[in-house]
Chains A and B, each alone.
Chain A
Amino acid sequence: MLKPSLAKNNFREEVMKTMKDLSTSLEGRVSELRELKKEGKKIVGYVPGGFMPEELVWASGAIPVGLNRGGDPSAVLKSAEYLPRFIDTFSRSQIGYWAMGEEPLYQMVDLVVVPCTDRNIGVIADGWEMWTETKVFKFGVPHNNKSDHAFKYYLDGLHLLKEALEKLTGSTITDDKLRKEIDVLNRMRLLLRQISEMRKSERPPISGKDYIKLHHASFRTDRDIMVTSLESMFQELKGNEGRKGPRILLIGSSIAEGDYKVHNILEAIGADVVIEDFSEGMRPYWQEVENNGDLVEALADGYFRKRTPPPAFFRPATEERVAFFLRLAKEFRVDGIIWYSMMYRDSYDIAGIYFRRIAEKEGLPFIKIMSDYDTAETGPLRTRIEALIESL
């Protein structure tokens, strides 16, 4: 169990301790899950794109785990045996992680839930369906969060998911259970938001990489342990001062667990990410879920209708999205923007071109990077990022 820190001096070390405690807890998580599985608990894997309310999974008695690995060229290579090449690298590599057999979570899931936000993410579901014995539940995420019809469509998906989870666990998802889980997850979202906002300071108390790792940890760790960790970290970070340097907004399609190359390059030259947004690999934390009325509807409202910021594929929300990022850029006082999207993720590729124009109008230096998780891209990638920082 994570212990809240008492020491008041040397905050940095205390933060590192909580991070360390969290990673120790993560290391033990796989064997913990194995034990729970032996006891009959069901493990539900999902694509962490922010459209799968984990509240439903926890309330069903199953355990949700985000399937969010990425960054490894060998998984991409392995995926070629199952899928064609010209598909988003993150999506394509998911079947690679399963096939390599080295990532335990990918081997122990009883059900994989895929909210299909676009054709690329849909391919993750296809991969699991076609090549594994694991059951798959997929449901569509419409691209218009303004229409009532679209809202009902997404809500319908959640009702079907609820049924599928109840069938999997043999346990009913009651309002009482759901209410409790919404509270816990709201707390987690709020803490992630509060910690994120601490980075508005001139010397952010937490590095960009550590911050994103919190999101990644939250996809695996038990929600109560995660909230306890975040609570103590939030206290420990108060008054802590990190490094002062060029401030970057990192934005794009997926930031997978294990894919920290942009962070590493920035850190090595004294710059850092102070605010980020990704469709996969982050927990949307700017909105909460109302905890009253019809709770499944409340989940659809929080996860879909009020989703902030709207993702790149929410077509009627492009202006809203741009306005949100310009506000973030201002509030977090960013010096430059790095657009980091996966190769062959066309919607983000296009959005990146558009964002570049907007950013330049605002006088914000901008570079767009496409990654194929390939070692050959490292050199040019480093040059681009370093040149951006040098030219600030």
Chain B
Amino acid sequence: MLFAGIDIGAATAKVVILRDGKILSYAIIPTGFDVINTANEVTRLALEKVDHSIDELEFVISTGYARSAVPFANKTLTEILCHAKGVHLLLPRARTIIDIGGQDSKVIRVGESGNVINFNMNDKCAAGTGRFFEVMAVVLGLDISEMGPIALKSSNPCQISSTCTVFAETEVVSLRAQGRSREDLISGIHKAAASRVVTMGKTVGYEKEVVLTGGVAKNMGVKKFLEDEIKMETVIPEEPQIMGALGAALFAQAELGKK
């Protein structure tokens, strides 16, 4: 029997196909404008890899920003629960999840069974999210994937006082004019964003093991500065972007047990 979890985020759409509690296949594509089309497309892609089709799915749970827009989902759940569930399967010792996606960032405290104990997430502001890094990459004329490795090269990160995406852009432009190196600037951007996310999560607290998820977890600069801020090591799942979809798929599988 096949189960699917589909996570339509602000920037990317992810799907995980589950069989017997194990990941059979997954896919990640940009969300784009047409959410319904994206949901169909990403699911079709993941299923095609293993020669299956949407009709064969037993139960589908959608999550993420556009969770309600998935036409073939049997149920919706928030990404907070799904991230906790997904991470718990792969890293059962996880007690804190820092999830940084395209549009929001969350700090989730999880219990021994992968249950959500507490969480906090950013409001509508883009500070400390993937979007923040995207804007900064454009300002500095870089590809988003180059940002992290460059951030690690500086030993003297610039002080970026504003984490507001709009103001930080002005600050970066002004620091660039002052002749600060690209490494120091990029490093400073990462430090500021990490600090912002860590502060937001302080109300829920940080307990070992701390796991990073979401697309931004692929950025090694963010990992370093988050670790500096919380003074703890962090763990990144093999594919940090699909944790929400994986959790949703696990919940979908659990639905069968309820019947």
By a beta-carbon cutoff of 8 Å, the part of chain A in contact with chain B is 353, 356, 360, 365, 370, 374, 376-377, 379-380, 383-384, 386-387, 390-391
Cα distance, A356 to B119, chains bound together (Å): 12
By a beta-carbon cutoff of 8 Å, the part of chain B in contact with chain A is 65, 77-81, 104, 115-119, 121-124, 203
- Contact yes or no, B122 A387, CB < 8 A: no
Cα distance, A356 to B124, chains bound together (Å): 21
Task: Say how far A5's CB is from chain B's closest CB, in angstroms.
Answer: 38
By a CB distance below 8 angstroms, the chain A residues around B79 are 383
By a CB distance below 8 angstroms, the chain B residues around A353 are 203
By a CB distance below 8 angstroms, the chain B residues around A360 are 118
- Contact yes or no, A387 B124, CB < 8 A: no
Cα distance, A377 to B122, chains bound together (Å): 10
- Contact yes or no, B121 A391, CB < 8 A: no
Given contact pairs A390-B78, A390-B81, enumerate 4 new A-B contacts (beta carbons under 8 Å): A353-B203, A376-B124, A391-B115, A391-B119
Query: In the complex, which of the residues A370, A379, A384, A390 contacts B65, with contact meaning CB atoms closer than 8 Å?
Result: A379
Task: Say how far A300's CB is from chain B's closest CB, in angstroms.
Answer: 38
Task: Say how far A355's CB is from chain B's closest CB, in angstroms.
Answer: 11
- Contact yes or no, B123 A391, CB < 8 A: no
By a CB distance below 8 angstroms, the chain A residues around B122 are 380
Task: Say how far B252's CB is from chain A's closest CB, in angstroms.
Answer: 14
- Contact yes or no, A380 B115, CB < 8 A: no
- Contact yes or no, B203 A391, CB < 8 A: no
By a CB distance below 8 angstroms, the chain A residues around B81 are 387, 390-391
By a CB distance below 8 angstroms, the chain B residues around A374 are 124
Jot down 29 A-B pairs with beta carbons below 8 A, ordered by A. A356-B203, A360-B118, A365-B118, A370-B123, A374-B124, A376-B124, A377-B123, A377-B124, A380-B121, A380-B122, A380-B123, A380-B124, A383-B78, A383-B79, A383-B80, A383-B104, A383-B121, A386-B78, A387-B81, A387-B119, A390-B77, A390-B78, A390-B80, A390-B81, A391-B80, A391-B81, A391-B115, A391-B116, A391-B119
By a CB distance below 8 angstroms, the chain B residues around A370 are 123
Task: Say how far A60's CB is from chain B's closest CB, in angstroms.
Answer: 44
- Minimal Cβ-Cβ distance residue in B for A369: B123
By a CB distance below 8 angstroms, the chain A residues around B118 are 360, 365
Cα distance, A386 to B124, chains bound together (Å): 17
Cα distance, A88 to B159, chains bound together (Å): 31
Task: Say how far A242's CB is from chain B's closest CB, in angstroms.
Answer: 24
Cα distance, A387 to B203, chains bound together (Å): 17
- Minimal Cβ-Cβ distance residue in B for A375: B124
- Contact yes or no, A384 B121, CB < 8 A: yes
- Most B-side CB within 10 Å, residue of A360, A374, A383, A384: A383
- Most A-side CB within 10 Å, residue of B115, B116, B122: B116
Cα distance, A379 to B79, chains bound together (Å): 12
Cα distance, A387 to B81, chains bound together (Å): 7
- Most A-side CB within 10 Å, residue of B115, B117, B203: B203
Cα distance, A321 to B59, chains bound together (Å): 47
Task: Say how far A349's CB is from chain B's closest CB, in angstroms.
Answer: 12
By a CB distance below 8 angstroms, the chain A residues around B65 are 379, 383
Query: In the complex, which of the residues A376, A377, A387 contacts B116, with contact meaning CB atoms closer than 8 Å?
Result: A387
Task: Say how far B70's CB is from chain A's closest CB, in angstroms.
Answer: 15
Cα distance, A384 to B80, chains bound together (Å): 8
By a CB distance below 8 angstroms, the chain A residues around B203 are 353, 356
Cα distance, A387 to B117, chains bound together (Å): 11
By a CB distance below 8 angstroms, the chain B residues around A376 are 124
